[in-house]
């Protein structure tokens, strides 16, 4: 299958991205470059200088809402992508509404308790919608510990499941980018199998 | 009883155990995780009441902050 055919196939689908930080911004860009038709982005945060070490934003976007800036960056790369943005703190009530109609959802939160909340909500209230989770990517090096696990047809995990972010083990562009792009790669694999 | 835990066979002395008991017996220390039994997600507030039976397929993933 050549890229024109792949892009035209991916153009039929809608992917939800929960969080527009290190995972969400980099994953969204990879999906946009590949030609996914519609991206639903949700985040309530504003870009800070400290985000620029790993998140797909530019220094002149500091202070802007992440959703608005990410939509702008996506459009500059691939204007054919339809981008829907929600400036909302996601919770158990609004997640099924915001991501309704999505063919796949990407978990791209920072906090572990939010990851847990999203996984529980999607798996229980949005039965059958595949969810791609990122967990464990702080620090540097250790390429061989980052892995992919398919739990079942609706739950996929990317990351090392052990490196928790902290002051002495910060999040850095390479490992966050690897996991974000691995999540995008899993999304493509799921979408390429759909008719 | 025997179960599959993350695709590995594990044996426990009892006939059935709750998710909480399984976590204690295995000394799993991570604060946050997601557990599925035979494909059904078990919310964390049900770890005491959700029971694991012989031949169950238990999947567990660990949640770390960072993203």
Q: What is the pLDDT of residues A6-39, one digit of tens each?
A: 999 999 999 999 999 999 999 999 999 999 999 9
Strands ordered across the beta sheet of A155-159: A82-86, A38-42, A14-18, A104-107, A131-134, A155-159, A147-152
ipTM above 0.90, yes or no: yes
* Whole-number Å distance between alpha carbons of A138 and A53: 12
A50 touches chain B (CB under 8 A): no
Does B8 reach chain A within 8 Å, measured CB to CB?
no
- Please check the confidence at residue A173 and state whether its pLDDT lies above 90: yes
Residue A74 above 80 pLDDT?
yes
pLDDT of B49: 97
B25 touches chain A (CB under 8 A): no
Q: Calculate how close chain B gets to A79, using CA atoms only, in Å.
A: 26
Query: Nearest Cβ partner of A164 from B44, B61, B65?
Result: B65
Q: What is the pLDDT of residues B41-58, one digit of tens each?
A: 999 999 999 999 999 999
What would the DSSP string read from start to end of A3-42? HHHHHHHHTT-EEEEE--SHHHHHHHHHHHHHT-SEEEEE
Partner B contacted by A152 (CB < 8 A): yes
Mutate: best of A159, A179, A184, partner B, most B CBs <10 A: A159
User: Is residue B30's pLDDT more than 80?
Assistant: no
For residues A92-113, average pLDDT: 98
Residues comprising chain B, all counted:
67
- Note the pLDDT tens digit of each residue in A131-150: 999 999 999 999 999 999 99
Question: Confidence class of residue A188 from pLDDT cuts 50, 70 and 90?
Answer: very high
Query: CA torsion sign, A93 to A99 to A105 to A106?
Result: negative
pLDDT at A15: 99
Asked if A171 has any chain B CB less than 8 Å from its own CB, the reply is: yes
pLDDT on residue A166: 96
pLDDT at site B31: 81
Q: What is the average pLDDT across B28-40?
A: 90
Q: What is the mean pLDDT of chain A?
A: 98
What pLDDT does residue B27 have? 86
Query: Please, which pLDDT band fits residue B23 given cuts at 50, 70 and 90?
Result: very high
What is the pLDDT averaged over residues A85-95? Answer: 97
Chain A residues closer than 8 Å to B47 by CB: none
| Averaged pLDDT, B21-30 | 87
Look at residue B29 and tell me whether its pLDDT is greater than 80. Answer: no
């Amino acid at each position: 299958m050549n890229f024109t055919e792949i892009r035209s196939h991916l153009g039929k689908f809608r992917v939800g991205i929960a969080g527009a930080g290190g995972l969400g911004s980099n994953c969204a860009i990879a999906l946009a470059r590949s030609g996914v038709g519609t991206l639903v982005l949700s985040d309530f945060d504003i870009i800070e200088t400290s985000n620029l070490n790993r998140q797909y934003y530019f220094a002149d976007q500091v202070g802007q809402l992440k959703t608005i800036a990410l939509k702008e960056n996506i459009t500059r790369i691939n204007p054919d992508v339809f981008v829907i943005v929600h400036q909302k703190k996601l919770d158990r009530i609004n997640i099924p509404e915001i991501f309704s109609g999505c063919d796949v959802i990407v978990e791209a939160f920072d906090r572990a308790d939010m990851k847990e909340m999203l996984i529980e909500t999607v798996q229980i209230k949005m039965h059958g919608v595949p969810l791609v989770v990122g967990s464990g990517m702080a620090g540097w090096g250790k390429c061989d510990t980052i892995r992919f696990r398919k739990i079942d047809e609706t739950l996929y995990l990317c990351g090392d499941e052990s490196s928790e972010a902290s002051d002495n083990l910060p999040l850095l562009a390479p490992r966050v980018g690897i996991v974000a792009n691995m999540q995008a790669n899993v999304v493509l694999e799921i979408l390429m199998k759909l008719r | 009883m025997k179960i599959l835990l993350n695709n590995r066979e594990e044996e426990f002395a009892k006939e059935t155990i709750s998710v909480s008991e399984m976590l204690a017996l295995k000394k799993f220390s991570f604060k946050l995780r997601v557990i599925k039994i035979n494909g059904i997600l078990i919310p964390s507030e049900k770890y005491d009441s959700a029971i694991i039976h012989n031949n169950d397929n238990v999947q567990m993933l660990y949640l770390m902050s960072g993203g």
